[in-house]
Amino acid sequence: MNTCMLSFDVEDWFQVENLREVVPRESWNYQRLRVVENTHRLLDILNRHGVKATFFVLGWIAEKVPGLVKDIHSAGHEIASHGFAHELIYRQTLKQFKEDVHRSKEILEDLTGTPVIGYRAPSFSITDEAIDVLLAEGFKYDSSFFPSVFHDRYGKLFTVKVERYTGIAEPRPGFYEVLIPTLFLLGKKLPWGGGGYFRVIPYGIFRLGIKRLLAEVGSYLFYLHPWEIDPYQPRIKDIRISFRFRHYAGLKGTLFKLERLVRDFPFISIKEGLEKLGYLSLKTLKEG
């Protein structure tokens, strides 16, 4: 039976890398938060369709609006870490990265009273060295490796060799990498996991791609951000044209497409998916 996993990266509109040039980190406290309302819109859709998901929550958001984390957790969804300050991993020293991820994990676990076992890097900027830090910090899986050449910020894992999308890899014994999907077509690995690609690709075509991946691999992972269902967020004009396209393209139709997606496929959280596929067990989680 196929396994479809659903995930959301909980960050706000002003925290994305595309806007960093004009919305610096030191201005975050003065920006209007829209993440609470947008995340609740996601929760409402999931509740209507009886779907559970993994929410990779930014530590900064958890510290700012702890009630949001509790709302997600109380609705039965998995809470995982998106780091604290949304810094690309390869722009940090290993010490800085360890402090960032430790701080985030501690905040989330204090709020939920539940072990946080999953991590996703900002802008998928994962590295091999970061995997060792995550393992030492008690994480059981990462979901950051996006083996596609269609973006300039994605990180690389040289310990994970993939010619085609394989779903799950094991870069370290007992530690799993839940890959972001790519669709192999005409000799190219096309990004097919969600986000901006989901926003701009017609839904019917995207759906066919998912079905093909499920037929080939048996599992599929989808991701999205709360700001991607918000066409009324502030528009920042003083950024590069390519960044403007990446951030604003297709926002108006995303919520409708997402509702079709969760109706068409039986999604579960990543933790549930790893358990279903036999990678994690209750015994393993308790020992962690």
Q: For 148-158, how does the pLDDT look when each residue is reduced to its tens digit (9 = 90+)?
A: 655 556 667 77
Q: Which residues of 208-241 are buried (b: 16+ CB within 10 A; e: fewer)?
A: ebbeebbeebebbbbbbbbbbbbeebeebeebee
The pLDDT of residue 18: 86
Average pLDDT of the residues in 217-222: 96
For residue range 161-197, what is the model confidence (pLDDT) as tens digits?
766 677 899 999 999 999 999 998 877 788 999 999 9
Phi, psi of 95 (to 5 degrees): -65, -45
Question: CB neighbours (10 Å) of residue 67?
Answer: 10
Give, in words, the CATH class of 3-287: alpha beta
- Ordered by start, the domain boundaries in the chain are 3-287
Report the distance separating Cα 26 and Cα 131, nearest Å: 28
Q: Where are the alpha helices (DSSP H) in the chain?
A: 35-49, 59-64, 66-74, 94-112, 128-136, 195-200, 203-217, 241-248, 251-264, 270-276, 282-287
CA angle 201, 204, 207 (to 5 degrees): 90
For residue range 237-288, what is the model confidence (pLDDT) as tens digits?
888 898 898 899 999 999 999 999 999 999 999 999 999 999 987 545 544 4
Q: Which residue has the tokens 């077509």?
A: 185
pLDDT beyond 80 at 47: yes
